[in-house]
Structure 1
Amino acid sequence: MRFRLLGALDVRDATGAVVFVGPRQRAILAALLLRANEVASVGYLADAAWEVLPAKPHSNVRTYISGLRRRLGDGPGSGERLLTRPGGYVLRVAPAELDLTVFEELAGQGERAMLSGDLHRAVQRFEESLGQWRGKPLEGLSVGTPLRAELSRLEERRLTVVERHGEAAIGLGRHEGLIANLRLLVEDYPFRERLWAQLMLALNLAGRQAEALRAFHDARRMLDEELGVDPGPELGELHQRILRGEIEPAPPVSARILVGAAPDDGRTAVTGGGRRGVPSATASDPAPSQLPPDIGDFVGREPELRQVIDRLTHEDDTMVLPVAVLSGQRGIGKTTLAVHVAHRLRCHYPDGQLYLDLGGSGSVPRDARSLLTQLLRSLGIVVSDPAVDLADLSGLFRAGLAGRRVLIVLDDAVRAEQVRPLLPGDARCGVIITSQSRLTDLPATVRVRLPPLTETDAVELLGEVAGAHRLRSGYDDAVELVRLCDALPLAVRAAGARLAAKPHWPIGQLVFRLSDEHHRLDRLDIGDLTVRARLAASYGSLDATTQRAFCLVSLMESDEFRACAAAPLLEVPVGKATDLLEALVDAQLIEATPARDGIRYRMPVLVRLYAREKAVTMCDATS
């Protein structure tokens, strides 16, 4: 499970959000989480949930504990999660399950890195720890006095980490990136002089001395008007040093590297190193950030999300490049998950995030050379010499990433040979690849095949797109609707978009219209949400023999079948039928499941509807 306190209280298990009854139960759960793996006394829990204690607090607490047990299930490992102990209760929580524990662990790693002088790692760890915060702790929950004191302590701890992060980032020369956030912080916490000092220092290092001095005057005026005091000695001394010009502005760190003909715009062409076109040293541009926007209605995928994030943030001594391959049928949400993960990991890869569409859905996938040229431009390296070969381009790309923590998202790959030249050599980088194929011939540290959404998540997604209020009066219809969509995220989104465009329709109206199999795919096409186009791209990637098998298999009477049953229809021996069916499995157009009597195959409903359309076209062409 995942417990989150650093923001609105949120608990999720493998099926989605866990719902708790009433604010008292939530307050008691929050109090238990703040004392996770320790005995929380009944008195403490009662004081946390009630401003004025009820007549029988022990009985009331026991009732809420009983309800929590039913909702929380088993704990980490095995056994009950919520235990009764003399004088109180213990909530068993694994370290990675609670955002507060993760925050403290990462902040501690940042402090240790600061003490050892590793500012780069310190900034990274501080940013990861602060990334656990989604708002004020337990935002929106009414709690008693003990919890309010705990929440004040947590907020103070967060601000301390914010300040330490600022110190490390300024030490690395990243002052300009801090200024906007520091301005917001001094508005929210105007009495924290260290934040004012960091704002002044960052402004001065950015060559904005007048603004730095203005910030000091703003701080002095605010302290005088609100508290009747002058700024402390640290702030005053910094003010004097800026006035005397003792803090020199930092020079901008920027360079453009060109390979080939000398530029005519004042930039310098740099070549050298052991191989032609590979510079022996490069300066870095500002960190590139090319990720598409994250979606606000991301739902589910918690096991897959954790699997990929854990692999891409795991550090060991093997120095193996972390590569995550996400595979699955078209429309299953591979790109959505990859982009969502990448946004979650921006703090872990502070030197940039690169995104490339490899064109697997198009008629002609992009070649590695054009992709490398685009990646190099993202790093400020312009290749103008067409004679530079692919190996040199790949080496130049790896040289540009040396010593940097950059996350690369390679979306819609077709084959391993398309991807290999795009992989960095530095294990501090990370790579997420999406592909219809599993790319088993490519080295990967984690492979995740995405299944359709669970019924609960698919209904939640439908509500996010169409409006959650529509689920209240039509939940059963919503369940049937996502079934008709095969719980395929693209299809569910298309159905939700059609409902959103028809606010006067009940959900049952669309269920009725989608029940007509002959027009279901037509009604799941809206704007760029088109199921048929995605299936057509998969079909177009097949050779003629496999296309014929795809069409014929859709005519099988049984939902599940073995190769020996499909062979007569395909008019081939069983061995050849197996090869054709496995080619369709590899193309994510049918599913294979081991069974006692051999491997059984199944074609999802939406795929079958499309295959039957193509079967009719094939028959017409033959006749």
Structure 2
Amino acid sequence: MSLRFSLMGPVRAWREDEEIDLGPRQQRAVLAALLLNNGTRLSNDQLIGMVWDDPTPSAVMALRTYMYKIRKTLPELDLRSKDGGYTLRAEFVDDCRGEPLEGLQGTYFEAQRVRLAERRLKSREEWLERELDVIELQKHVASHPLREHPRVLLMHALFREGRQAEALEHYHQARALLGEQLGLEPGPELRKAHARILKGDLHLPRKPEQLPPDVADFTGRVAEIARALDVLPGLVGITGMNGSGKTALATRIGHLVKGRFPDGQIFVRSGDVADELLRAVGVENPAGDKAALWREKARGKRFLVVVDDVPSAEAVKDLRTPGSAMILTSVRRWNDLPGVTWLKIAGLAVPEARAFFRKVLDPARIAAEEQQADEVLARVSYLPNPIRVLGGKLSGRPAWTVTMLLKQMDRETVLGEAVPSDCRAVLAPIIKADRQLTAEQRHLLTCFARQNADVINVCEAAEMSGGEVDRIDVLLESLADVHLIEPVVLGSYRLPRFVQMYFGLRSLVPTS
């Protein structure tokens, strides 16, 4: 099940949509200390120093008690003591407008409260910069009259509405306030906005916001998300077979971090990545060295770039710029691309797959046939895209049972040209992969799929396919590169059940 936490207001947690009782104040303080250091190992002494300003010897036993209760309340966190410390990885939602860490006391939490409040303030201003809503900006400026950037945004918004005099009046108000309270003149950003409004040539920079909508029922991938959040603004790559949810994961990560990149988010799904990046920032019909031109345009800015289905290492290798982040998705891991932290994903973990299935299909129908539901998930190797299609199919047939779906899956698999479109939607990831295979690769996979063995080694593969061992070794590795088989140990590979289902009866399933 998916856990979410919030520190903006009281420390809170949810399992799916149900809020969890986190216990007394000191227990929540221990959990908050771990959450504030998400992904970082904390020793017992560090935790005690954060939670108690003047700890007594009994603090050690109290910490052990609270950690035991937290583990019991939140078993999904797998909080085990290792080398005298604890590490927590979690997903956050910050949708509460209360005081950060409400109710927690002590020097450490006071300092963190200031930091979180400042982060939330910046996030609010980044939202205001995107929306340029005059009324919301007026409220914000009234609450924070000495912050210059939101006042500049308000001047922009007023000028855009044809209210030039009001925009100029805000400059004079700011100048008087800064001089009276701080003895300062307005900063360069305010002065520049004032000068350009006087000239009537204030133009807002083009800010791309191209991220696809986040997937509302996204489930799992907690460890991968935590790792990506640690790495960014470094280069993150997500690799996995078709249907594993690479794009959904990249999009989820993008929405979690987009506040860090105030100059915009760019989403590219094209062979000419540099061309699309330049068009996103307003360069029409770019020519010449596009990568160099992009680096020039992006200098000093913070963009979040998501490149979906990277066609080659060459397409992205010269496009990184300091301060900006790039998330790549690709079936193939491009090992010749330097500096990438690769996250490999496959099917969801079994509990996550079950939770996801319950999101796309009435949980009561699943509960009535749990074993059959597990069989459906296993047949598609717990891949989220086929699970979504099958759950949608059953949702559209309220009189059907899960058992009926299994029977139709068996029947449709052998229908040849008569395979219905909804079944083809389930098979779409494998069909796409199949079209990119060579005849040798396809023959080897078909031979592998028709065996009863889950795991096979190079020599066995050569014998059953009639090929030479050296050549078969190369072919097996090429199939592992695109995740159609999974390396177990050197020279040994496992075939995912979804792949086996398709290639075992490939001659009976249309591929075009």
> TM-score scaled to structure 1, two decimals?
0.61
Letter in 1 for 2:226: R
Partner of 1:86: none
Partner of 2:422: 526
Tell me by how many angstroms 1:346 deviates. 0.9
Counterpart pick for 2:245 among 327, 330, 333: 333
Report the CA distance shift for 1:164/1:585 in structure 2 as closer, same or farther (over 3 A).
closer
Tell me by how many angstroms 1:185 deviates. 8.8
Partner of 2:346: 451
Tell me by how many angstroms 1:211 deviates. 6.4
Letter in 1 for 2:346: P
The answer (yes or no) to whether the contact 1:323–1:432 under 8 Å persists in 2 is: yes
Where does the alignment leave 5 or more consecutive residues of structure 2 unmatched? Answer: 35-46, 53-63, 171-175, 186-190, 198-202
The answer (yes or no) to whether the contact 1:514–1:523 under 8 Å persists in 2 is: no
Partner of 2:257: 345
Question: Percent identical across equivalent pairs?
Answer: 25
Letter in 1 for 2:471: K
Alignment of 1:6-155 (within 5 A): 6=8, 17=15, 23=21, 25=23, 29-33=27-31, 37-38=47-48, 67-71=69-73, 74-75=79-80, 77-79=82-84, 133-136=94-97
Distance 1:336 1:462 in 2: 16
Report the CA distance shift for 1:195/1:506 in structure 2 as closer, same or farther (over 3 A).
farther
Alignment of 1:356-375 (within 5 A): 356-358=268-270, 366=271, 368=272, 371-375=273-277
Tell me by how many angstroms 1:589 deviates. 1.3
Letter in 1 for 2:238: L
Report the CA distance shift for 1:156/1:192 in structure 2 as closer, same or farther (over 3 A).
farther
The reply to whether residue 419 of structure 1 matches residue 321 of structure 2 is no
Report the CA distance shift for 1:535/1:545 in structure 2 as closer, same or farther (over 3 A).
same
Q: Deviations over 1:379-416 (max 9, x none)?
A: 211236xxx45xx2222122111221112211112322
Partner of 2:442: 547
Tell me by how many angstroms 1:298 deviates. 1.2
Report the CA distance shift for 1:536/1:312 in structure 2 as closer, same or farther (over 3 A).
same
Letter in 1 for 2:28: A
Report the CA distance shift for 1:63/1:615 in structure 2 as closer, same or farther (over 3 A).
same
Q: Secondary structure of the residue that 2:284 maps to in structure 1? A: strand
Q: Secondary structure of the residue that 1:434 maps to in structure 2? A: strand
Counterpart pick for 1:203 among 154, 169, 181: 154
Partner of 2:196: 251
Counterpart pick for 2:282 among 357, 377, 380: 380
Report the CA distance shift for 1:617/1:248 in structure 2 as closer, same or farther (over 3 A).
closer
Letter in 1 for 2:196: P
Q: Secondary structure of the residue that 2:260 maps to in structure 1? A: coil
Partner of 1:571: 466
The answer (yes or no) to whether the contact 1:327–1:438 under 8 Å persists in 2 is: yes
Partner of 1:589: 484
Question: Which stretch of the first structure deviates more once superposed, 288-297 or 176-185?
Answer: 176-185
The answer (yes or no) to whether the contact 2:138–2:154 under 8 Å persists in 1 is: no
Distance 2:117 2:462 in 1: 69
Counterpart pick for 1:537 among 412, 432, 440: 432
Distance 2:99 2:124 in 1: 28
Letter in 2 for 1:590: I
Report the CA distance shift for 1:234/1:438 in structure 2 as closer, same or farther (over 3 A).
same
Partner of 2:497: 605
Distance 2:428 2:30 in 1: 50
Tell me by how many angstroms 1:97 deviates. 5.3
Counterpart pick for 1:304 among 224, 243, 246: 224
Q: Secondary structure of the residue that 1:601 maps to in structure 2? A: strand
> TM-score scaled to structure 2, two decimals?
0.73
Counterpart pick for 1:429 among 317, 320, 324: 324
The answer (yes or no) to whether the contact 1:514–1:520 under 8 Å persists in 2 is: no
Q: Secondary structure of the residue that 2:223 maps to in structure 1? A: helix
Letter in 1 for 2:300: G
Tell me by how many angstroms 1:612 deviates. 2.8
Report the CA distance shift for 1:549/1:484 in structure 2 as closer, same or farther (over 3 A).
closer
Letter in 2 for 1:611: F
The reply to whether residue 161 of structure 1 matches residue 122 of structure 2 is no
Alignment of 1:386-425 (within 5 A): 388-389=287-288, 392-420=289-317, 423-425=318-320
The answer (yes or no) to whether the contact 1:290–1:353 under 8 Å persists in 2 is: yes
Q: Secondary structure of the residue that 2:218 maps to in structure 1? A: coil
Distance 1:553 1:183 in 2: 62
Tell me by how many angstroms 1:156 deviates. 8.6
Partner of 1:461: 356
Question: Which stretch of the first structure deviates more once superposed, 290-299 or 568-577?
Answer: 568-577
Q: Secondary structure of the residue that 1:297 maps to in structure 2? A: coil
Distance 1:167 1:602 in 2: 49
Letter in 2 for 1:556: Q
Distance 2:458 2:123 in 1: 63
Over aligned residue pairs, what C-alpha RMSD do you find? 5.0
Tell me by how many angstroms 1:337 deviates. 0.8
Alignment of 1:165-314 (within 5 A): 165=122, 177=130, 179-180=132-133, 183=136, 186=139, 192=143, 194=145, 202-206=153-157, 207=159, 208=163, 249=194, 251=196, 285-313=205-233
Distance 1:539 1:167 in 2: 47
Q: Secondary structure of the residue that 2:493 maps to in structure 1? A: strand
Distance 2:249 2:404 in 1: 31
Report the CA distance shift for 1:544/1:428 in structure 2 as closer, same or farther (over 3 A).
same
> Which structure has the greater CA radius of gyration?
1
Q: Secondary structure of the residue that 2:491 maps to in structure 1? A: strand
Distance 1:10 1:482 in 2: 32
Letter in 2 for 1:296: A
Q: Deviations over 1:552-592 (max 9, x none)?
A: 22222312111211212211122222222222212221112
Tell me by how many angstroms 1:203 deviates. 3.0
Distance 1:184 1:155 in 2: 26
Q: Deviations over 1:305-337 (max 9, x none)?
A: 111221114xxxxxxxx3222111100111111
The answer (yes or no) to whether the contact 1:401–1:424 under 8 Å persists in 2 is: no
Report the CA distance shift for 1:211/1:355 in structure 2 as closer, same or farther (over 3 A).
same
Tell me by how many angstroms 1:498 deviates. 1.4
Distance 1:536 1:487 in 2: 17
The answer (yes or no) to whether the contact 1:76–1:93 under 8 Å persists in 2 is: yes
Distance 2:324 2:495 in 1: 38
Distance 2:279 2:260 in 1: 23
